[in-house]
Chains A and B, each alone.
Chain A
Amino acid sequence: MIEIPSLSAVVAFALLVLGAPIVPGIASRTKSILTGRRGSPAWQLYADLWKLARRGIVYSTTVTWVFRLAPIALVATTLAAATLVPLDGRTSVLAFSGDVVAFAYLFGLGRFALVLAALDTGSSFEGMGASREVTFAALVEPGVFIGLATLGVVVHEFSLTAMLGASQPRPGFVAAGPSYVMVGLSLFALALAECSRIPVDDPTTHLELTMIHEVMVLDHSGPDLALILYSSSLKLAVFSVIITSVFVPGARTNVGSGLGVLLMSLVVVPVAIGVVESVMARLRLPKVPLYIAGGSALAMFGLILVLR
């Protein structure tokens, strides 16, 4: 039967929902500091969301209800996926055997809606973005599953709470240490692709031909665009928590340390992303599959180590 979620899990979920927009802000702040520019403040996205929420919406004359549903589906599925992650480091709001599959496929539903919305406009640019999005997603998905399966083999359970939560010391963790590191690095690399960051996609690009995620949302405006921007930040925040949970070992026996780890992950991972974005340029599109395959191969090594 479904267990009542613990208070700390609910508090952590609320923290994530409210704090998500700071994550891309910290990444871009890091980038501006490292590249010696003034840049926008870390809370820029809050201001953008507030501004967009009060704007009107322009709909293309070709679009159907799919276009209107997509931003909502994105936020709803990302929120639902976040309930499956042990955000306070211990338990999630909702945990069940095989929730890993639900986690990945909820993002799939959101992506399906967004891609259909892009095709709904009949714009060649948005079609191009949609095509690239599904292409790279198809490569990222197996890699993410390899990584998560590796964690599952160590803890003998196929549930995110068991894999990432740590209310007691993890058995077999020390022996599986190298695998954890490989899976963590691989998830970081794949999360950059999944969340449309450099070196796969550039969220700040200005040329439609070079975009992936941004070009799909060219025709969204006002509250719709706010929802899409918010869901991207939420997705980035969720992946930040997952990556940190893989790296932070040991028990988080009290609620305070768990929530501390959550807040830390919302800062550390975006800083790392900012560093990557400062030192790297975007890869050429034909090189992206190699990058993703490399990330997946790292997770595969981790899996082989625990399976041996």
Chain B
Amino acid sequence: MTLFVLGLALILAGGVSPALVRRFGRAQRDTLHQILVVSGCAVSAFSAARVLVAGEQVSVAFRTTMPGGAWALTIDPLAAVFLLAVFSVGAMCALFGTQDLASEAAAHRGDVAHAAWFTQLAFAVLVAAIAVVVAAGSVIVFLGAWEVMAISSYVLIITHHEDGDVRRSGLIYLVATHAATLALFAMFATWQSGAADWSFAALAAASPTLGAGATTAVLGLALVGFGFKAGFVPLHFWLPPAHAAAPSHVSALMSGVVIKTGIYGLLRVLFLLGGAPAWWGWFVLGIGVASGVLGVLWALAQHDMKRLLAYHSVENIGIILMGIGVGVLGVAFHRPAIAMLGFSGALLHTVNHALFKSLLFLGAGAVYRATGTRMIDELGGVARRMPITWLAFVIGAAAIIGVPPLNGFVSEWLIYQGLFSSGQSRDAVRLALLGIPALALIGALALACFAKVAGVVFLGTPRSTQAAAASEVGRAVLAPMLALATACVVFGVIPILGIRLVSGPAGVLARAANTGIAPAVASGALAISALSVAVILSALALWWMRSALMRRGLTRHEVTWACGYDVTTPRMQYTASSFASPLLSMFGRLTSVRVDRSPTSLRTHPIDLVLDGVALPCWHVVHRAALRLRAIQHGRLHLYLLYVMAALLVMLGYLVVGTRR
């Protein structure tokens, strides 16, 4: 635990160092920041890993005289899994971000409105705050860190605040995150009314005495509060604009880790409550399916690379929720084996998604830095100009669509099995079987979407001069991407690593008597390793065979076949919009694409059904109503004092009437 706190101190020191050490040049300050943040992440991650190996929780409490009891930090295996993801992704994003900001400053000298030291400080604070949210052992620490996390995210999102769109995205995020916090306050207040103090241990002790109504309220509020953060449908609407607006390494951290605190919160509530009723499991499973299908469908419609990736986060949160739903159902129907599969699938997908989604965001960021555009249809042919970035990106893309031999497959395999084993029982839980075709649809649509973004951005010929002028980013930027890509491959080829990582906390959540890995899962993991090795080896053998054949025949290089028509231009290539068009038209109005047609042009604008269809119209109604109140806000001080007096009189009257009763 000392190590954990020491690591956080190092991270924060890394955050303030660029501001304090003014004497050094930019490069030295950046290096100092990177070293401190990465070493802090490593030290803290080590303490989390030790908890996971030992399987026992460690905690520390600071006694305070403030209301709300002691400030407790507790790392149990559930928290440790999330902490490992936070620190590994956090360190990689810090490495990438520092270099990225430096090259931005070099490219637009004097044109950059934000100060690098401030962004670096906010980033370090964000990483530390996420860690404290996950390690919090009492409500006060949790909510405090939650708010610090929310505000530092906001500061980072509006880094490029000179852009009006960025400010607007930041505002939407700010409203959403505070709505989440409000729900969490209500949730903890409802829960705590029967507990001794504000520590999580006391909440857990009070859970059995919680009435049915209060339990329902707690579970419902948890779904709203943590749902906003996790960003599942229909609470996702803040997520795509915010992730698109933030600098790339911040998007990577937010999509990879910050939204996972919502998942962590849900699991923590389940853990403290000791399970949830079946209806909640069905509800979560349903939201998971809706989020998964709609998320990937909306991603298909996007033109902006980072918005597209952000919608994929909505999709993957949906897959994780499907796992949680299966887990809750397994517990509710007293089938620990099913619950184990569901929870371990959900936890593993959380870790896997942290790895490949941050990788993809960093890859998109590298392309953005090299070309200056995020519009998919303005790019093309980048793979030849940025081969290493392409390699890392395509590994991330294959991982997110869940194909073997990469890590995304392992967690989806577990969730599939959870859905299937619930289908074998004789009670109502077997309806969860219907999640299988939904998950298959999500996977196939994700394949379509990543074929689109990888194929159109990186392959073919450049569609613009910026894309043609792209050149590979520096080694310091490539290193974190390659590290994350390697992790994706290792966890995919050796699935037992990831499964062992999450089996402990999954077993506790599943209330399984035997928290070990099921023999079927262990042998399946081994078989997946064998299968992965077989695919890789047979591909190598085939490659060698073909090289042998090619040595005999003649290999020529010609222009692409265009039916004998040889004056082709890059504009004749299939665009991303045309690529996605058949699928989008099939799903009709669900895809929410606005089409502007004129005799000579066709433009499609993806809109967000929830944001543009519900949230903003509702906001405008509230806004108009609030304008009516303007009449009482006129700046005359004496009348304001009168309001205060009136309010006091009303309260006094209430007290008098209230005490008499």
A279 sits at the interface (CB 8 A) = no
Residues of chain B within 8 A of A42, CB atoms compared: none
Interface size class of B (residues with CB under 8 A): 35 or more
Closest residue of chain A to B563 (Cβ to Cβ) is A208
Interfacial residues of chain B within 513-548, with CB under 8 A of chain A in the complex: 520-521, 523-524, 526-528, 530-531, 534-536, 538-539, 542-543, 546
Q: Smallest CB–CB gap between B576 and chain A, Å?
A: 10
Interchain CB contact (< 8 A) of B459 among A69, A122, A224: A122
A303 to B527, CA, bound (A): 28
- Residue from B390, B412, B562, B570 having most chain A Cβ neighbours under 10 A: B562
A77 to B539, CA, bound (A): 9
Interfacial residues of chain B within 348-401, with CB under 8 A of chain A in the complex: 380-381, 383-384, 387, 390, 394, 397-398, 401
Interfacial residues of chain B within 549-581, with CB under 8 A of chain A in the complex: 549-550, 552-563, 568, 570, 572-574, 578-581
0/1 string, A62-92, CB within 8 A of B gives 1: 1010100101110111011001100000000
A143 to B413, CA, bound (A): 18
Interchain CB contact (< 8 A) of B430 among A123, A146, A307: A307
B186 sits at the interface (CB 8 A) = no
B61 sits at the interface (CB 8 A) = no
Let me know if B460 and A111 touch, CB within 8 A: no
A284 sits at the interface (CB 8 A) = no
B512 sits at the interface (CB 8 A) = no
B110 sits at the interface (CB 8 A) = no
Let me know if B447 and A116 touch, CB within 8 A: no
Interchain CB contact (< 8 A) of A131 among B424, B539, B570, B578: B578
Q: Smallest CB–CB gap between B129 and chain A, Å?
A: 37
Let me know if B383 and A64 touch, CB within 8 A: yes
Q: Number of residues in A with C-beta < 8 Å to the partner?
A: 86
Interchain CB contact (< 8 A) of B438 among A54, A64, A131, A142: A142
Let me know if B531 and A101 touch, CB within 8 A: no
A115 sits at the interface (CB 8 A) = yes
A76 to B455, CA, bound (A): 21
Residues of chain A within 8 A of B578, CB atoms compared: 127-128, 131
A1 sits at the interface (CB 8 A) = yes
Let me know if B534 and A80 touch, CB within 8 A: yes
Interfacial residues of chain A within 239-253, with CB under 8 A of chain B in the complex: none
Let me know if A66 and B394 touch, CB within 8 A: yes
Interchain CB contact (< 8 A) of A98 among B460, B524, B555, B582: B524
- Residue from B417, B451, B553, B557 having most chain A Cβ neighbours under 10 A: B451
A158 to B553, CA, bound (A): 46
Let me know if A142 and B444 touch, CB within 8 A: yes
| Contact A138/B451 with A112-B398, A119-B460, A149-B423 known, Cβ cut-off 8 Å | no
Let me know if B433 and A149 touch, CB within 8 A: yes
A218 to B562, CA, bound (A): 9
Q: Smallest CB–CB gap between A146 and chain B, Å?
A: 5
B461 sits at the interface (CB 8 A) = yes
Let me know if B459 and A116 touch, CB within 8 A: yes
Let me know if A122 and B461 touch, CB within 8 A: yes
Let me know if B539 and A120 touch, CB within 8 A: no
Let me know if A105 and B556 touch, CB within 8 A: no
Q: Smallest CB–CB gap between A13 and chain B, Å?
A: 12
Interchain CB contact (< 8 A) of A218 among B390, B437, B561: B561
Interchain CB contact (< 8 A) of A111 among B413, B447, B572: B447
| Contact A62/B413 with A2-B523, A106-B403, A146-B437 known, Cβ cut-off 8 Å | no
Residues of chain A within 8 A of B420, CB atoms compared: 98, 149, 152, 158
A106 to B402, CA, bound (A): 10
Q: Smallest CB–CB gap between A147 and chain B, Å?
A: 10
A137 sits at the interface (CB 8 A) = yes
B35 sits at the interface (CB 8 A) = no
Let me know if B574 and A124 touch, CB within 8 A: yes
B18 sits at the interface (CB 8 A) = no
B448 sits at the interface (CB 8 A) = yes
Residues of chain A within 8 A of B440, CB atoms compared: 104, 141-142, 144-145
Let me know if A54 and B586 touch, CB within 8 A: no
| Contact A123/B573 with A72-B546, A102-B404, A145-B440 known, Cβ cut-off 8 Å | yes
Interchain CB contact (< 8 A) of A141 among B441, B521, B543: B441
Let me know if B436 and A145 touch, CB within 8 A: yes
Residues of chain A within 8 A of B539, CB atoms compared: 69, 72-73, 76
Residues of chain B within 8 A of A257, CB atoms compared: none
B409 sits at the interface (CB 8 A) = yes
Let me know if B455 and A98 touch, CB within 8 A: no
Residues of chain B within 8 A of A75, CB atoms compared: 538, 542
B421 sits at the interface (CB 8 A) = yes
Let me know if B574 and A121 touch, CB within 8 A: no
Closest residue of chain A to B441 (Cβ to Cβ) is A142
A79 to B412, CA, bound (A): 22
| Contact A134/B447 with A144-B440, A153-B433 known, Cβ cut-off 8 Å | yes
Let me know if A105 and B404 touch, CB within 8 A: yes
Interchain CB contact (< 8 A) of B451 among A100, A116, A307: A116
Residues of chain B within 8 A of A122, CB atoms compared: 380-381, 459-461, 560, 568, 570, 573
Let me know if A116 and B528 touch, CB within 8 A: no
Let me know if B444 and A124 touch, CB within 8 A: no
Q: Smallest CB–CB gap between B26 and chain A, Å?
A: 35
Interchain CB contact (< 8 A) of B413 among A2, A102, A112, A303: A102
Q: Smallest CB–CB gap between A267 and chain B, Å?
A: 27
A56 to B557, CA, bound (A): 11
A187 sits at the interface (CB 8 A) = no
B443 sits at the interface (CB 8 A) = yes
Let me know if B526 and A2 touch, CB within 8 A: yes
B309 sits at the interface (CB 8 A) = no
A57 to B387, CA, bound (A): 23
Residues of chain A within 8 A of B556, CB atoms compared: 56-59
Residues of chain A within 8 A of B521, CB atoms compared: 97
A130 sits at the interface (CB 8 A) = yes
A202 sits at the interface (CB 8 A) = no
Q: Smallest CB–CB gap between B575 and chain A, Å?
A: 8
A287 sits at the interface (CB 8 A) = no
Let me know if B416 and A55 touch, CB within 8 A: no
Residues of chain A within 8 A of B562, CB atoms compared: 123-125
Let me know if A123 and B459 touch, CB within 8 A: no
Let me know if B527 and A99 touch, CB within 8 A: yes
Let me know if B582 and A135 touch, CB within 8 A: yes
B583 sits at the interface (CB 8 A) = yes
Residues of chain A within 8 A of B538, CB atoms compared: 75-76, 79-80
Let me know if A142 and B437 touch, CB within 8 A: yes
Closest residue of chain A to B539 (Cβ to Cβ) is A76
Let me know if A303 and B433 touch, CB within 8 A: yes
A222 sits at the interface (CB 8 A) = yes
Let me know if A130 and B527 touch, CB within 8 A: no
Interchain CB contact (< 8 A) of B574 among A2, A108, A119: A119
Let me know if A153 and B550 touch, CB within 8 A: no
Let me know if A119 and B527 touch, CB within 8 A: no
Let me know if A112 and B451 touch, CB within 8 A: yes
A286 to B578, CA, bound (A): 16
B89 sits at the interface (CB 8 A) = no
Residues of chain B within 8 A of A307, CB atoms compared: 423, 430-431, 433
- Residue from B430, B526, B538, B560 having most chain A Cβ neighbours under 10 A: B560
A121 to B455, CA, bound (A): 10
Q: A54-B552, A142-B440, A227-B546 are in contact. List 11 more A-B contacts (CB 8 A).
A: A2-B530, A57-B553, A57-B556, A60-B560, A76-B539, A109-B403, A124-B562, A124-B573, A137-B447, A138-B441, A307-B433
Cross-chain pairs A/B with CB under 8 angstroms, 16 sampled? A54-B553, A58-B557, A66-B394, A80-B534, A108-B447, A109-B535, A112-B401, A116-B455, A124-B562, A124-B573, A126-B574, A131-B580, A135-B448, A135-B583, A142-B444, A222-B550
Closest A-B pairs by Cβ, 10 of them: A127-B574, A119-B455, A56-B553, A122-B460, A56-B554, A134-B448, A142-B437, A96-B527, A138-B444, A109-B403
Q: Which chain A residues have a beta carbon within 8 Å of chain B's beta carbons?
A: 1-2, 53-62, 64, 66, 69, 71-73, 75-77, 79-80, 83-84, 94-102, 104-106, 108-109, 111-112, 115-116, 118-128, 130-132, 134-135, 137-146, 149, 152-153, 156, 158, 208, 218-219, 222-224, 227, 285, 289, 296, 303, 307
